Amino acid sequence: MSTLEIDRARKLYGDLEVLKEVSISIATGDFLVLLGPSGCGKSTLLNMIAGLENISGGEIRIAGRVVNDLSPKDRDIAMVFQSYALYPTMTVRQNIEFGMKIRGVPQAERDKAVKTAADLLQMTHLLDRKPSQLSGGQRQRVAMGRAIVRQPKLFLFDEPLSNLDAKLRVDMRTEIKRLHARLGTTIVYVTHDQIEAMTLATRVAVMKDGVVQHLDDPQSVYDRPANVYVAKFVGSPSMNIVPARLDVEDGRPVAVIDVPGGAAARLSGIPLSSQAAAKYAGRSILLGVRPELFSVAGAQAAQAVTVNIDVVEPTGPDTLALFQAGGVEVTARVPPRAVAARTSATLAVDTGKIVLFDADNEQRID
């Protein structure tokens, strides 16, 4: 069992509280990504799991055992750092087996473990090279190999791809995902890159100011963000947050949005409980709509809005169309050449996937 349980964990530096009763629980084989901007507390939390930072309150349990007071070497973890942390005078083989060597593991067992890790990471041909002879991606493979041979209960990754160029990051994401699938190990991974989070994780914890804002599987975080902060942080382009008013017609919620130069758009078919609809009837709300929920439609299409396109940004496979609605700039993702700048367009909206937020506290309305 390689479960991880973080129970109301706190971290204080003097009077500054950088982690505020964080609680996260993952099962054996989960891939947890701690996602958030610099300063949100994600690396501090990872270091507390590793034992590199003391915990100020709460408990951290690995495989059911409280590890608050255990040293890093007694926690049965392996950590892969952003900086690789390889010994420059050693070969790849020596770097990978070094930890086993100082623990007194016999040579035959070390050789077998190094071969297994090298085969898994497709770097057998690199075993006799020094780190200076490797690319950034190859060095990261060595760091991962050194972690694999320990066969720990928990793998910890601290922004391991941030030093790589864009193409190498994509390649290494694939390698890490393949590694997780083959080994079935439990992983905790820190990043500020929401694409890494979406592609790698089985569970994502979005953090802000030392607080977990949303913990769920990646698709749920994307489709039903807990609040406006999560909605804007996850997704590229991010979710549009449009001021609107909620009306109720025949018991059904209708979002009313001001559109420049035309009649207000009225969108129905929004998923909302009858209790929430009654509570927010006639009130200002925030409407969350992903860019891909728009499509080009005919003038008589249901659940559509006619807008003036300000800017188009071709990306190749699609086009980003920017327009004003509700007093803010809105982005729609449409097919190439489907719309043109400085023209009007009627865009249908998939209202079944719209998310509503409270205009005051910015929390999702269900």
Residues 6+ apart with CB under 8 A from 15: none
Task: Give backbone dihedrals phi and psi of 256, rounded to 5 degrees, phi first.
Answer: -110, 125
Ordered domains of the chain (ranges, CATH):
4-233 (3.40.50.300), 240-365 (2.40.50.140)
pLDDT in tens, 273-316: 999 999 999 999 999 999 999 999 876 677 889 999 999 999 99
**Residue 163 CB-half CA count within 13 A:** 13
Q: Is the dihedral of CA 169, 172, 178, 181 positive or negative?
A: negative
pTM of the model: 0.91
pLDDT recorded at residue 280: 96
The per-residue pLDDT of the chain, averaged, comes to 93
Section 324-340 average pLDDT? 96
